[in-house]
Amino acid sequence: MLQKCLTSVNLVYYWLKNKGKIQGDIIKLEGESIFSIPIAIPCGADIEELHRLVNAITANKLNKSEVLKKENKVIDKKIDNLIYKIYSINEDEKEYIENYLNTLNK
């Protein structure tokens, strides 16, 4: 689960969509594109915070309550923001990436 956080699904998708090989709507995952995905190495404090957030969201997913589903969205946002920090993504880049991903989800 932590590996998912360190590579950030949103960032990897954005990166592959813009730098990888695309065939129609499908991203082709080949050795070259996989090996060139940038993976950040966070500092100790960031690792601890990621562990805490991932553990919280994992525990919440075991419970199906609507309150915890809303809490998971807040935790997801905190994870995204921490990943942006780890990758040194500024506010303009963050906004661009999120707007791009939102257009894909419509």
Q: Which residues pair with 23 in a beta bridge?
A: 26
Confidence of residue 105 (pLDDT cuts 50, 70, 90): low
> What average pLDDT score do residues 17-42 get?
74
Range of the domain at 8: 2-104
Tokens 């040194």 correspond to what residue? 88
Task: Give the number of domains in the chain.
Answer: 1
Chain Cα centroid distance, residue 67:
22
Q: How far apart (Å, rounded) are the C-alpha atoms in residues 67 and 29?
A: 37
Of 14-23, 58-67, 91-100, minimum mean pLDDT range? 14-23
Half-sphere exposure of 87 (CA within 13 A, CB side): 23
What is the signed CA dihedral for 95, 100, 105, 106, rounded to 10 degrees? Answer: 100
pTM of the model: 0.68
